[in-house]
Amino acid sequence: MPKLLVCNVCVLWQHSNERERREREREREKHTHTHTHTHTRTQTDGLHCTLHSAHFLALCCTHSSSAPSASVLALCHCSLVPFSTPAAFSRHGRRLHTIMAVRHYTIDFKLCGPADHAATVRGLQSIFQEQEMTETVHDTEGHGYLATFIGKNGRFAVMRVHSHGLVTFDLQCCKGDDQAQVDNLLNALEKKLRTLLSGKIQRVKRLPALRRGEEIDRYWPTADGRLVEYDIDEIVYEKESEYQNIKILHSQQFGNILILNGDVNLAESDLPYTQAIMGSGKEHYAGKEVLILGGGDGGILNEAVKLKPKMITMVEIDQLVIDGCRKHMRKTCGNVLDNLKGDCYEVLVQDCVPVLKKYAEEGRTFDYVINDLTAVPISTAPEEESTWEFLRLILDLSIKVLRPSGKYFTQGNCVNLSEALSEYEELLGRLSCKVDFSKEVVCVPSYMELWVFYTIWKK
């Protein structure tokens, strides 16, 4: 038995796939004498066990931080492979195809005045020498000091001293690189710079590493263009339909999240979205006729059927959205998508525009029309014009099929995009039928920004 199995963490290897375990055992035995062995506990990833040899081999175990105690820690990502061909495994030990990924670390020193380039650079030399990093100094044509460094295992660093009081440091490491070594380098550098720049420092900022090129993308920026990292740990469903790219990703805290064409649509945590777009609990659905436009995640349908309406008609264009959500968003849709027809509802897998036109011609009307199709466009650039046109078309048709006492519910966009929201409100004033509206700001958990919802009715 290889020596490293003494470790309480690594012993969990024995619970993973038997064939893979044996393969790994053989690999370990080959390299066990030259291994060094480090455990680190990180804020984000639970417990790491890193092993590295003098040659090229690395083993990195990351254990789920959501496990209730150390004794039942689950193995979530493992690789025991040469540095030059990293591999990854899913939460359940399934081998993902070979991937290349980079962790990009930054440390920035904001100063209250210019730094002494020469002294700063000289003071750091021993750190880079210890790390066996080869330095190249660049001619910046008067824009401060700039040096790049090449290190072991593909490590690459940029050190920049800007003329007017900013020192930036970047370190890019390949995923699987020894985490303890990388942390040591960053800590040593930060400590040394704090000494060298002491008395001049206004702020030191060391951000969580950017994870670039990873199998699972964790960055889904907000509608108002801010960078946010989600706690996504698994790709649950991915399809390219006739209409859009459909992803369902698993977030540790939000549950499964439906993402359409890169936009976070709804997570299993997001009942506040569904409640808001149904009138925030202030409406009486019992005995009413309801029309849902879109809503393929089944959230609105699932909540609405509980309120004993007379009939709900839902018109969703994309069967693949329904298929994915029926299986992977059950906290949202319950069992309402298991059949396209129930006691008090029917799901039409169709484009809603011809359906709305037909209803308008027939004079069919509804007590509630809920538009869950698309958010207000965030721009009025030419390429967005068609979205505004579509929004107006849907609005006009929806108001036509709305009873005089009826209500039309829809989302707007994030509260920060006030220009886009104003434009939408102006559009409401230019409809063929006069309407009035109210709005509400709601916190939808997985959105990471406050969202505006509208209630519209005939004047």
Instruction: Enumerate the active-site residues.
Output: 372
What does the alpha-carbon distance between residue 284 and residue 29 come to, in Å, rounded to a whole number?
69
What does the alpha-carbon distance between residue 233 and residue 218 come to, in Å, rounded to a whole number?
8
Shortest Cβ distance from residue 70 to a copy of itself (Å)? Answer: 8
Shortest Cβ distance from residue 231 to a copy of itself (Å)? Answer: 6
Q: Is 388 in the site for a copy of itself (CB under 8 A)?
A: no
Binding string, residues 6-35; x marks residues near a copy of itself by CB under 8 A: ------------------------------
Q: Which stretch binds a copy of itself (CB under 8 A): 191-199, 212-220, 282-290, 313-321?
A: 212-220
Query: Which residue in the set 37, 117, 162, 331 belongs to the binding site for a copy of itself (CB under 8 A)?
Result: 162
Shortest Cβ distance from residue 370 to a copy of itself (Å)? Answer: 22
> To 5 degrees, how large is the angle CA 184–CA 187–CA 192?
120
Shortest Cβ distance from residue 157 to a copy of itself (Å)? Answer: 11
Q: Is 184 helix (H, G, I), strand (E, B) or coil?
A: helix
Residues 310-369 that bind a copy of itself (CB under 8 A): none
Query: Which residue in the set 14, 42, 335, 432 belongs to the binding site for a copy of itself (CB under 8 A)?
Result: 42
Sign of CA dihedral 252, 258, 259, 265: negative
Q: Is 277 in the site for a copy of itself (CB under 8 A)?
A: no
Using the structure block, give the residue that is written with the tokens 């006729």: 289
Q: Which stretch binds a copy of itself (CB under 8 A): 13-21, 215-223, 307-315, 348-356?
A: 215-223
Count CB atoms within 10 A of the CB of residue 455: 19
Shortest Cβ distance from residue 168 to a copy of itself (Å)? Answer: 6
Helix segments in 369-447, DSSP class H: 382-400, 418-428
295, 347 contact by CB (below 8 A): no
Q: Is 283 in the site for a copy of itself (CB under 8 A)?
A: no
Helix (H) or strand (E) holding 320, with range, is helix 319-328
Query: Which residue in the set 1, 18, 69, 459 belongs to the binding site for a copy of itself (CB under 8 A)?
Result: 69
For a copy of itself, which is the closer residue by CB, 18 or 240? 240
Measured in degrees and rounded to the nearest 5, phi and psi for residue 65 equal -80, -5
What does the alpha-carbon distance between residue 168 and residue 190 come to, in Å, rounded to a whole number?
11
Residues 174-193 that bind a copy of itself (CB under 8 A): 174
Shortest Cβ distance from residue 313 to a copy of itself (Å)? Answer: 31
Contacts of 385 (CB under 8 A, 6+ apart): none
Shortest Cβ distance from residue 140 to a copy of itself (Å)? Answer: 6
What does the alpha-carbon distance between residue 366 and residue 360 come to, in Å, rounded to a whole number?
11
Q: Is 237 in the site for a copy of itself (CB under 8 A)?
A: no
Q: Which stretch binds a copy of itself (CB under 8 A): 31-39, 181-189, 205-213, 368-376?
A: 205-213
Between helix 117-130 and helix 179-196 the angle, nearest 10°, is 160
Shortest Cβ distance from residue 431 to a copy of itself (Å)? Answer: 19
Q: Which stretch binds a copy of itself (CB under 8 A): 22-30, 43-51, 275-283, 336-344?
A: 43-51
Count CB atoms within 10 A of the CB of residue 132: 11
Q: Which stretch binds a copy of itself (CB under 8 A): 88-96, 163-171, 178-186, 393-401?
A: 163-171
267, 254 contact by CB (below 8 A): yes
Q: Is 228 in the site for a copy of itself (CB under 8 A)?
A: yes
Hey, what are 295's tokens?
């809503």
Shortest Cβ distance from residue 353 to a copy of itself (Å)? Answer: 28
For a copy of itself, which is the closer residue by CB, 273 or 408? 273
Q: Is 430 in the site for a copy of itself (CB under 8 A)?
A: no
For a copy of itself, which is the closer residue by CB, 118 or 228? 228
Residues 82-141 that bind a copy of itself (CB under 8 A): 84-86, 97-102, 104, 106, 108, 110, 112, 136, 138-141
Hey, what are 122's tokens?
């000289």
Pairing between β-strand 145-150 and β-strand 134-138 as defined by DSSP bridges: antiparallel
Hey, what are 361's tokens?
């011609």
How many residues form the binding site for a copy of itself (CB under 8 A)?
90
What does the alpha-carbon distance between residue 410 and residue 376 come to, in Å, rounded to a whole number?
10
Measured in degrees and rounded to the nearest 5, phi and psi for residue 418 equal -70, -30
Query: Which residue in the set 143, 284, 306, 308 belongs to the binding site for a copy of itself (CB under 8 A)?
Result: 143
Query: Which residue in the set 7, 74, 166, 188 belongs to the binding site for a copy of itself (CB under 8 A)?
Result: 166
For a copy of itself, which is the closer residue by CB, 115 or 395? 115
What does the alpha-carbon distance between residue 261 and residue 360 come to, in Å, rounded to a whole number?
31
Q: Is 225 in the site for a copy of itself (CB under 8 A)?
A: yes
State how far the alpha carbon of 326 is from the alpha carbons of 234, 237, 271, in Å: 18, 11, 16
What does the alpha-carbon distance between residue 301 and residue 347 come to, in Å, rounded to a whole number?
9
